[in-house]
């Protein structure tokens, strides 16, 4: 694995215990990716769609 990178994104939707975050692809800035993060791994408790979050890609 490479070095972990912090990437900013926006909460697209919340499906049960999974938060779907849309980020710009660090390898191709023209594209976006969806990242699936367990809700327990996000510090903010009051998450809603459209909130900005930071995820660590590793």
CB contact at 8 A, 37 and 18: yes
Task: Give the model's pLDDT for residue 58.
Answer: 78
Domain-wise residue ranges, the chain = 5-45
Cα angle 44, 25, 41 (rounded to 5 degrees) comes to 25
Mean pLDDT computed over every residue of the chain? 90
* Segment 4-29, tens digit of pLDDT: 889 999 999 999 999 999 999 888 88
Provide the 10 A C-beta neighbour count for residue 21. Answer: 23
| Interatomic CA distance for residues 13 and 27, integer angstroms | 24
**pLDDT-based confidence at residue 1 (cuts at 50, 70, 90):** low
As a whole number, mean pLDDT of residues 38-53 equals 90
Structure tokens belonging to residue 5: 């990178």
Phi, psi of 38 (to 5 degrees): -60, 135
Q: For residue 5, what pLDDT is reported? A: 87
């Amino acid at each position: 694995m490479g070095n972990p990178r912090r990437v900013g994104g926006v909460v697209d939707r919340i499906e049960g215990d999974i938060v779907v975050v849309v980020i710009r692809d660090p390898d191709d800035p023209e594209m976006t990716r969806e990242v699936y993060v367990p809700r327990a791994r996000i510090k903010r408790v009051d998450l809603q769609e459209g909130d900005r979050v930071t995820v660590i890609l590793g």
